[in-house]
Amino acid sequence: MSKRHRNQDFAPPARADLRAHAHNERHRVHSELHLAEEALRHGLEPLDVVEPGPEWKPSHHHDPAVGIEKSRRQPIRHWKTKDWKRRKNIRRQKAAAWQMLA
């Protein structure tokens, strides 16, 4: 079992609380975007409008160590690269050429 279940002092916040906070943040950004759009519609200069940005993020978005660890977990998939597809086609063409010669 993971360490987070051993001590309640380090327990993460309840999922429902995180979801409610995220919902409130999305609602706030949406409302501010609506106000900015209304201001533009009524003649305010585009450079004078302040774009709303996220003021709250879950704690796992703040920790750079978490991001580094996640990036190490997922190696590059070689078949997702353009190189791989090109090599595959070249190999297919070479095999077809050899078939023509044989």
Total of domains in the chain: 2
Q: Are residue 53 and residue 84 in the same domain, yes or no?
A: no
Considering the domain boundaries, does residue 34 fall inside one?
yes
**Residue labelled with tokens 């190696």:** 75
CB 3 within 8 A of CB 9: no
The verdict on 38 and 15 lying in the same domain is: yes
Same domain, 98 and 58: no
25 within 8 A of 55, measured Cβ to Cβ: yes
Average of per-residue pLDDT across 83-94: 81
pLDDT of residue 3: 62
Residue 42 structural domain: 3-62
- State pLDDT tens for residues 36-76: 999 999 999 989 888 888 887 777 677 778 777 877 777 77
CB atoms within 10 A of CB 21: 14
> Is 69 inside any structural domain?
no
Task: Give 10's pLDDT tier (boundaries 50, 70, 90).
Answer: low
* Distances from the Cα of 14 to the Cα of 11, 19, 38, 84, angstroms: 9, 9, 37, 44
